[in-house]
Amino acid sequence: MRLSARNNIHATVTAINQGEAIANVVLDAGGTRLVASITVEAVRELGLAEGSAVVAVIKASDVIVGVPD
Amino acid sequence: MRLSARNNIHATVTAINQGEAIANVVLDAGGTRLVASITVEAVRELGLAEGSAVVAVIKASDVIVGVPD
Amino acid sequence: MRLSARNNIHATVTAINQGEAIANVVLDAGGTRLVASITVEAVRELGLAEGSAVVAVIKASDVIVGVPD
Amino acid sequence: MRLSARNNIHATVTAINQGEAIANVVLDAGGTRLVASITVEAVRELGLAEGSAVVAVIKASDVIVGVPD
Amino acid sequence: MRLSARNNIHATVTAINQGEAIANVVLDAGGTRLVASITVEAVRELGLAEGSAVVAVIKASDVIVGVPD
Amino acid sequence: MRLSARNNIHATVTAINQGEAIANVVLDAGGTRLVASITVEAVRELGLAEGSAVVAVIKASDVIVGVPD
């Protein structure tokens, strides 16, 4: 499926901090640390584990731009 | 200001496609193309232009994880 | 690509109201009207037009629950 | 209260998977499965339970459009 | 309709900057300036204009916490 | 860092309801109750506690406008 989401960042899962409902999936994208908070159901269905090759998908409207002082 | 947002990606502005209310700011993050849809007011206030060094800030709850087939 | 996003609603494009940066894509999902605000770049790249068969993809953290009075 | 949110999908609660902070509320919308991740406080205040008639409310800017391959 | 959204801020519309697809609605909430980017369709349907009494509704998962340096 | 996010609301932390992955941080903004769902990692890194002075940062595209009946 092709997606309207404009941001697709290739990454590897480095850790999964799992609660009852939500898991924080920590990713490494070429040296940049990313975190995705997703449902535990999705972690299980996608079979995510340390080392999984994934894509971080982010809608353009969810990206804030910051300018360092 | 330190932020709870877990994703902070250093990038450079490569293009700005501006409408009346919203602008799509295209970024290059070490070879990965990113797009941020923000208000035109923010573009003006931050003084964004091609070549600006910025940080793409994204909340962990806005990151979807995809697994290639 | 399989996605962590928990909401995938099959729909048909019924109208596209396009601005300079953002387009509102109106969908019909079995009688329910949906609207997606996406970049005009995505509309073009996906080749969206009236009648296109699409999937509305929504992250679980973006769904508010309302209870009618 | 009338809302600017463009997506209002009538549904029934089929399950609630509750953590300490967040609950994943599973909905059935005429045969389509939906999931909403909301605070446990909201579940309690709204009195949500299996069988509750609800509306899934989603902002247009949170809807990604996918096109099947 | 009662909502799971945890943030409901009473405000008054002070300006509307309208594009083709999206409008930025500027609000005053007891001296705090807020901006909501919504569809032009919603502006029209809700009959928003300068002086309208509204509520800014925000899901808890969309709130970032910042700590001033 | 200056941010494109248009909504910055000064507030004080009044409670933190912490799960394994996500914490709901309750804020008081001049008498208005706000809630931010953020990662527990962010709570720890920012050193948030009751009484902390913070800013609730919200992107304009995440604000829904409601009109009371």
pLDDT at C37: 98
pLDDT digits (tens, 9 = 90+) for E21-54: 999 999 999 999 999 999 999 999 999 999 999 9
pLDDT score for C27: 98
Torsion angles phi and psi, residue D11, rounded to 5: -155, 170
Using alpha carbons, select from D29, D5, B60, A63 the residue that is nearest to residue D13. Answer: D29
* Fold for the domain defined by C7-58: OB fold (Dihydrolipoamide Acetyltransferase, E2P) (2.40.50)
Q: What's the pLDDT at F10?
A: 98
- Locate all alpha helices (DSSP H) within chain F, ordered by sequence: 40-46
Locate tokens 């007891």: which residue?
A: E30
pLDDT for D32 equals 98
Beta-bridge partners for D18: D23
d(CA B16, CA C39): 13
SS in 3 state form for chain C? Answer: CEECCCEEEEEEEEEEEECCCEEEEEEEECCEEEEEEEEHHHHHHHCCCCCCEEEEEECHHHCEEEECC
The residue ranges of DSSP E strands in chain A, in sequence order, are 2-3, 7-18, 22-29, 32-39, 53-58, 64-67
Cβ of E4 within 8 Å of Cβ of C65? The answer is yes
At C28, give phi and psi (nearest 5°): -115, 120
Query: Residue F16: its pLDDT value, please?
Result: 98
Amino acid, res. E63: V
Are residues B24 and C21, on separate chains, in Cβ contact within 8 Å? Answer: yes
Output the pLDDT for position B66.
Answer: 98
A7 part of contact set with chain C, CB < 8 Å: no
For residue B37, the tally of other CB atoms under 10 A from its CB is 28
Q: Write down the pLDDT at residue F31.
A: 97
CA distance B39 to chain C (A): 10
Q: Is A39 on the interface with D (CB under 8 A)?
A: yes
Shortest alpha-carbon distance between residue E20 and chain F (Å): 16
Residues of E in contact with D1 (CB under 8 A): 1, 55
Q: What is the pLDDT of residue A5?
A: 98
CA distance F13 to C26: 40
Token pair recorded at residue F22 = 């996500």
Q: So what's the pLDDT on residue D46?
A: 98
Give the pLDDT confidence score for residue D1 in this predicted structure.
94
Band of pLDDT at residue B9, cut at 50, 70 and 90? very high
H/E element, B41: helix B40-46
**For B9-19, b where at least 16 C-beta lie within 10 A, e where not — what string?**
bebebeebbbb
CB atoms near residue E31 (< 10 Å): 6
Q: Does the global pTM surpass 0.95?
A: yes
Judged by a CB distance cut-off of 8 A, whether residue E39 touches chain B is no
| Structural domain B7-57, CATH architecture | Beta Barrel (2.40)
Q: How far apart are CA E52 and CA E47, in angstroms?
A: 8
Token pair of A7 as six digits: 């941001």
By Cβ distance, the residue of C6, C36, C42 closest to A39 is C6
**Can you give the pLDDT of all 69 residues of chain C as single tens digits?**
999 999 999 999 999 999 999 999 999 999 999 999 999 999 999 999 999 999 999 999 999 999 998
- pLDDT computed for residue C12 by the predictor: 98
For the residues D22-27, what does the mean pLDDT come to? Answer: 98
* Per-residue pLDDT, E20: 97
**Calpha distance F26→F16 (Å, rounded):** 6
pLDDT digit string (tens) for A42-65? 999 999 999 999 999 999 999 999
Task: Tell me the pairing of strands B2-3 and B22-29.
Answer: unpaired
As a residue count, chain D comes to 69
The answer to whether B52 and B44 have CB atoms below 8 angstroms apart is: no
Residues near C50 by beta carbon (within 8 Å), at least 6 away in sequence: C13, C14, C15, C16
A41: number of Cβ within 10 Å: 18
State whether residue D42 sits within 8 Å of chain F by CB: no
Q: Which residues pair with A25 in a beta bridge?
A: A16, A36
Find tokens 């019924």 and name the residue: C14
Sign of CA dihedral B3, B9, B14, B20: negative
**CB atoms D24 and A1 under 8 Å:** no
Profile chain F (69 residues) by mean pLDDT over runs of 10 residues.
98 98 98 98 98 98 97
C-alpha–C-alpha distance, residues F43 and F38, integer Å: 7
Fold observed for domain A7-59: OB fold (Dihydrolipoamide Acetyltransferase, E2P) (2.40.50)
Distance from chain centroid for Cα C18: 14
Measured between CA atoms, how close is A20 to chain B, in angstroms? 16
Q: Å from F1 to nearest chain B CA?
A: 7
E37 and B21 within 8 Å at the Cβ level: the answer is yes
Place of tokens 């995505």: C42
CB atoms within 10 A of CB F50: 10
- B24 contacts chain E (CB < 8 A): no
Q: What is the pLDDT of residues B20-57, one digit of tens each?
A: 999 999 999 999 999 999 999 999 999 999 999 999 99
Q: Which two tokens stand for residue A10?
A: 């290739």
Contact call for E4 and C64, based on CB within 8 A:
yes
C57 vs A contacts (CB less than 8 Å): 3
Could you identify the residue written with the tokens 């309302």?
C66
